[in-house]
Structure 1
Amino acid sequence: MNGMVYKENYRGKEESSDEREIETLKMEKKQSEVMEQLVKQASASPNANALTSILVQATSHPNVFSFSQFLALPNLLQLEATENSTYLDMLRLFAHGTWSDYKSNADCFPQLIPDQILKLKQLTVLTLAETYKVLPYNQLMQELDMTNVRELEDFLISECMYSGIVRGKLDHLRQCFQVQFAACRDLRHAQLGSMIQTLSNWLSTSENLLVSIQEKIKWADAMSEIEKKHRKDVEEKVQEVKSLIKANINFGGNEDICSESLSVMDYEDFGRLKRRRKILF
């Protein structure tokens, strides 16, 4: 038995790419609906206490993994420089940070409830999966504060792959998680320049590829026209040869008829000549 345990599909059977795509679309739709509802509630919050309550709800909700829409709300400014400013820091932590970031600065944030701790550990896996395609178990256990492989694998299966935020393979023999897909986290402002450059490079590569494809299409069209002309010339020559052969056949038939007529005439003339000789003698 090999050490590669296939866990991409939590139902116990391998899904097709179409099935995975459908599941991903369903998950994204559900997340979008929840996000829209929570953002509306946050934007209409009458005071800071109501707003912080919604932020706690958003950062602990099982279907919310993006927080940029909350950070863009104008009424979040009312939390700045107040006793509730730690909730704004908490929101930024969930948008860009990891479990290690929280542990290093726990005094700067409100005390997290269990669902928030779970969410932050899920987001930590996403951060690692964005950077590395192979995640060693010892690195994951250290980042997530887990003490054994069984606990880690159960977490990856039930809390990460089951929720649809990552897909991959658990390699128990090599003690690593091979990432095949990971949902994206919110971008930091400092990452925008790099992202724009990456997209610009992709656009330039796509444009060059398009030009190359168009040139190949033109070349193929030109070769097609040459092939058509060549085929037409060959067909015309074939017809010409057929006509010549037919003409030669017809001409040869007429020669045979003429030869037969001459032979008959010679025979008749020879007979008349013999009769004349008999009369003379």
Structure 2
Amino acid sequence: MDIEQNQAELIDNFVKQASAQKGTALGSVILEATSHPSLFAFSEILAVPTIAELEGTENSVYLKVLQLFAHGTWSDYKSNCSSLPQLVPDQVLKLKQLTVLTLAETNKVLPYDELMMELDVTNVRELEDFLINECMYAGIVRGKLDQLRRCFEIQFAAGRDLRPGQLGSMIQTLSNWLGTSDNLLVSIQEEIKWADTMSELDKKHRKEVEDRVEEVKKSLSVKQAEVEFRGLEDIYSEPGGVMDYEEDRSRPKRRRHPRS
């Protein structure tokens, strides 16, 4: 089963559980969801009416925990841990995995020093083990560990839930991309049109050159024939030529007297 299908089934399961519970009972549902090793998206669970009803109640802390896993990072938890319940080890692991996904949204080359600081990791070996075993093996990222440059080169990273206000920014980014693509398409079409025009001009020029070459060949053939014909005329009209030879043949030959 691929990760997308698995996510969809898990989300559907937790949405049904959250819809059937209220108040304090939602705490166990949220704890299970945020601890699950294969679940990395929480916006659909956040949208469940019974979850939204926790806002402003004595159980609002459960809502804050779910919001943290939907949009936050490990650093966000450390900054607000006094107002949040202590996380269990599985939740800590999950939040650190999500932190890597957040960092990958803005930079495809993540320095080891930045990762160690964001994840509270003390050495490179521990960091690389985490990236390999908890991120790449989990299928949420693919990349290359560059020990020489001390960085993690991201090739793929799963997306996180959209943060409040992020949708508008994403729409604007996509609109800008679409505009750039349209301009590029127009430019390509103009280049194709120019290339077609130049090709036609080249064909026309080549045809004119070939026709001119044929004309020159024909002209040279005619001139050569004229030269050869004139040469023959000169031969037959020269003194001592054919006519003189015929006249010479008609003259009586002298007899030679025998030697005594």
For Structure 1 versus Structure 2, the TM-score category normalised by the shorter chain is: 0.7 to 0.9
Whether the aligned pair in 2 keeps the contact of 1:129 and 1:135 (CA below 8 Å) is no
Question: Residue 227 in 1 paired to residue 202 in 2?
Answer: yes
Name stretches of at least 5 consecutive residues in structure 1 with no aligned partner: 1-28, 276-281
- Code of the residue aligned with 1:40 in structure 2: it is D
Whether the aligned pair in 1 keeps the contact of 2:3 and 2:139 (CA below 8 Å) is no
Residues 42 and 159 of structure 1: is their aligned pair in 2 closer, same or farther, counting only changes over 3 Å?
closer
Show the 5 A alignment for 1:72-91. 72-82=47-57, 84-91=59-66
Show the 5 A alignment for 1:66-77. 66-77=41-52
For residues 69 and 104 of structure 1, the distance between their equivalents in structure 2, rounded to whole angstroms, comes to 26
- Code of the residue aligned with 1:265 in structure 2: it is M
Residues 30 and 100 of structure 1: is their aligned pair in 2 closer, same or farther, counting only changes over 3 Å?
same
Residues 43 and 157 of structure 1: is their aligned pair in 2 closer, same or farther, counting only changes over 3 Å?
closer
How many residues align structurally?
244
For residues 31 and 55 of structure 1, the distance between their equivalents in structure 2, rounded to whole angstroms, comes to 21
Secondary structure, counterpart of 2:40 in structure 1? coil
Structure of greater relative contact order (alpha carbons < 8 Å, 6+ residues apart): 1
Residues 267 and 118 of structure 1: is their aligned pair in 2 closer, same or farther, counting only changes over 3 Å?
same
Question: Residue 244 in 1 paired to residue 222 in 2?
Answer: no
Q: CA deviation at 1:140?
A: 3.1
Secondary structure, counterpart of 1:76 in structure 2? helix
Structure 1 equivalent of residue 80 of structure 2: 105
> Share of identical aligned residues, percent?
57
Secondary structure, counterpart of 2:162 in structure 1? coil
Residues 50 and 231 of structure 1: is their aligned pair in 2 closer, same or farther, counting only changes over 3 Å?
farther
What is the TM-score when the length of structure 2 is the normalising length?
0.77
Whether the aligned pair in 1 keeps the contact of 2:110 and 2:154 (CA below 8 Å) is no
Q: CA deviation at 1:79?
A: 4.1
- Code of the residue aligned with 1:159 in structure 2: it is E
Q: Of the two, which has the highest radius of gyration? A: 2
For residues 115 and 229 of structure 2, the distance between their equivalents in structure 1, rounded to whole angstroms, comes to 100
Q: CA deviation at 1:168?
A: 4.1
For residues 208 and 179 of structure 1, the distance between their equivalents in structure 2, rounded to whole angstroms, comes to 31
For residues 113 and 129 of structure 1, the distance between their equivalents in structure 2, rounded to whole angstroms, comes to 25
Secondary structure, counterpart of 1:189 in structure 2? coil
Q: Output one character per residue of 1:30-57: Cα deviation in whole Å (capped at 9) or x when no partner.
A: 2221222123223433333776555434
The structure 1 segments of at least 4 consecutive aligned residues displaced by more than 6 Å after TM superposition are none
Structure 2 equivalent of residue 26 of structure 1: none
For residues 73 and 255 of structure 1, the distance between their equivalents in structure 2, rounded to whole angstroms, comes to 109
